[in-house]
Structure 1
Amino acid sequence: MAEWNKEKEKKILFKYRFTLTVRVIRVLLACLFLFWVYMLVVTISYDALHLDKKHAFYSKLAMDWTTPNLYEEFGEVTQSEITPFLTQKISFPVSRMVGKEPKVVGEMEIKKTFLNMFSRSSVDFYQNNQDNNYRFFLPEHPKTGESLGAEDNDRVWKLLEKIHEGTVAELSFSTSGFMSPEELLELLAPYDVDLLWAPLYTGEFKEFEPSSYGGGGSDLSIHYIFGLSGGREISDDYMSEGKIQYLNTELLADSKKMMLANMKNLLEEESKSYIETFLGLHKLEERYLYLKDNEFTVYGAVVTGPVKELLKLQEVEEIRGAQLGEMDYWNWEEE
């Protein structure tokens, strides 16, 4: 029988530690290899399915409908990645059209998790005053037909009088009555301005109760509204996208069709939690059915143009509740 000694003990311990270390390294390498294979499959699937482009497109739609004159720089590369926990992180710059040129004001941040309840999208503005939370006032109560007022602020017009004529700006206003988009364009036709966005009446108080609204005295404004923008469309594989920048007479019918088609696609292809929790599009089905069965009706606008041309809108009797937005140096087209 071999005699036990310290030297032999050291050799056995060394051999055991070496064997254990090799095994641990093998397990780690195997785990790393499996993780690499897993991430390779996840990344290839993510790229093949174009999920980032899909979520980005629907986020842009939600922004078009709910945030006046806020959109992505068309053609900008969307930054996207997917984590091991299948969380998709997507971002792209957003701008406002001020005059004839876009003005970058922030960045859209999208976090799409495996569960819609934890998914979010929001705009990180570079400056606190660039969110431009415009208020639009209903001209009459949809249920009773009672005429309603608006918060008129003469300071807007006085400010426009003092601003140098070599400036362009963004202006919002409400109208004294409901009207069709065609009538709104006709109302603005004598003025050298571009129509960017118009608040839509989508059945509030008649078909459903708005989630939030307010007013003071005889005025009434809905805090969460949908609006008509130029419109956008995308191919079935989400690789090719088209967009109309402005609301104009020639393409107005296309803008309406695009909005209804996109609403229908969302309702047919996505879950309620995706639509409401992730995109924040509340009562989309009720709004879609109302717009599909009724004529498009607007009660205000967001326009842009030279400040002295915007000042002329003060003369229009149908315009009230004006609010001034972004301003920039002259970039308008001389006629």
Structure 2
Amino acid sequence: MTDWNKDHEKKIMTKYRFTLTLRVLRVLAACLLLFWVYMMAVNILSDAAHSEKKHAFYSKLALDWKYPNLHDDFGGFTKKEMTPFLTQKISYPITRKVGRDYQAVGEVQLEKRLFNTYSTLNIQRFEPNNESIYRFSLPENPNSGRKLSDNGKQNVWSSLSKIHEGTVAELAFSTKSFMKPEELLEVLKPYDLEVLWMPLYTGELKEFQTGFGSGGDSIELTSIYGFTGAREAGDNYMSESKLALTQEFMDENKAIMLKQMETLLKNESQSYYENFLGLDHLEERYNYLKENGFSVYGAVVTGPVKELLKLKQEEQIRGARLGELDYWNWE
């Protein structure tokens, strides 16, 4: 029989610690392997379903409709990450068009969780936008038909007249009446400008209630949709294309926008397009556009400042607001 002593006890304890450590390391290695296999399976299934591409595409669609003159970096790199809790994190850069060039202004950050209620779409800007120029006044009360005024700044034309002619800028304005998009493009045809976005009337305050601000004899809606060049996706969202907002593609732009709205309503839940994408009252707006057609009451345009200044003579234009300026980049 072996005598028990401190040296023997020390050897046994050392062996025990070594065995325990080895077992712990084996368990950790097994857990890491299982986690690696789990994450690989999650990413493979996600890629096979093209879910991240779908979420990115629909977020860009919401960007087109809800945010004037904000563009994704078309063809640019989209970052994506899948967390262990199946949250898809997606981000891509966004730009603003001034003249012919695009200025980087920030990025869109998506977090698509299992539950749409907790999913988020945030726009992170490099610089805070203190006062938005994208404010549009309704030309008339939708219920009574009474003509409304506009509270736009009257010194816009004076400011434009003092800016050097070797400059380009963006300008937003409202119109004195509802117009078809084709009609507004015809009004702007004589001017060397590019039309980027038009606020759409989609039945607000008449077919459904939404937020608005009023001052004096004007009404500004707080949540609006806009009309711009239509965006389409290929099979499984593997490719994208976008049309220009011109007379040539007008019918296609209208048809594609209605088709995209219908697809969202049929294939996605209300919590997806409302809570996640921020597309409020989508069904009511879709029904109104389908039944009544497309009516706009303003535009966002860009071009040389002296060309923008000429818009002062147009009887339909009111409530102009001057946006960003840039050095000459126009042809």
In structure 2, give the amino acid aligned to 1:102: Y
The 1:105–1:131 alpha-carbon spacing in structure 2 relative to 1, beyond 3 Å, is farther
Within 5 A, what are the aligned runs for 1:38-53? 38-53=38-53
CA RMSD across the alignment: 1.4
CA distance in 2, matches of 1:76, 1:69: 17
The answer (yes or no) to whether the contact 2:133–2:322 under 8 Å persists in 1 is: no
In structure 1, give the amino acid aligned to 2:109: E
In structure 2, give the amino acid aligned to 1:94: I
**Partner of residue 316, structure 1:** 314
**Partner of residue 182, structure 1:** 182
**Partner of residue 64, structure 2:** 64
Within 5 A, what are the aligned runs for 1:292-331? 292-331=290-329
In structure 2, give the amino acid aligned to 1:146: R
Within 5 A, what are the aligned runs for 1:50-199? 50-129=50-129, 132-199=132-199
The answer (yes or no) to whether the contact 1:140–1:177 under 8 Å persists in 2 is: yes
- List structure 1 runs of 4+ shifted beyond 6 angstroms: none
After superposition, give the CA deviation of every residue in 1:67-97 in whole Å (9 maximum; x if it has no partner).
1111112110111111112121111111111
SS in 2 for 1:282: coil
Is residue 260 of structure 1 aligned with residue 269 of structure 2? no
The 1:8–1:152 alpha-carbon spacing in structure 2 relative to 1, beyond 3 Å, is closer
**Partner of residue 237, structure 1:** 236
CA distance in 2, matches of 1:111, 1:272: 17
Deviation at 1:133, TM superposition (A): 4.8
The 1:321–1:154 alpha-carbon spacing in structure 2 relative to 1, beyond 3 Å, is same
SS in 1 for 2:106: strand
Deviation at 1:292, TM superposition (A): 1.1
Task: Identify the range of structure 1 (292-301 vs 48-57) with the bigger mean alpha-carbon deviation.
Answer: 48-57
Task: Identify the range of structure 1 (100-109 vs 227-236) with the bigger mean alpha-carbon deviation.
Answer: 100-109
* Structure 1: stretches of 5+ with no match in the other structure: none
In structure 2, give the amino acid aligned to 1:223: T
CA distance in 1, matches of 2:152, 2:132: 17
The answer (yes or no) to whether the contact 2:133–2:321 under 8 Å persists in 1 is: no
SS in 2 for 1:128: coil
- Percent of pairs identical after alignment? 58
CA distance in 1, matches of 2:228, 2:130: 19
TM-score normalized by the length of structure 2 = 0.97
SS in 2 for 1:274: helix
SS in 2 for 1:250: helix
Deviation at 1:124, TM superposition (A): 1.3
TM-score normalized by the length of structure 1 = 0.96
SS in 2 for 1:151: coil
In structure 2, give the amino acid aligned to 1:231: A
Deviation at 1:232, TM superposition (A): 0.4
The 1:253–1:143 alpha-carbon spacing in structure 2 relative to 1, beyond 3 Å, is same
In structure 2, give the amino acid aligned to 1:64: D
The answer (yes or no) to whether the contact 2:81–2:88 under 8 Å persists in 1 is: yes
CA distance in 2, matches of 1:111, 1:326: 30
CA distance in 1, matches of 2:131, 2:218: 23
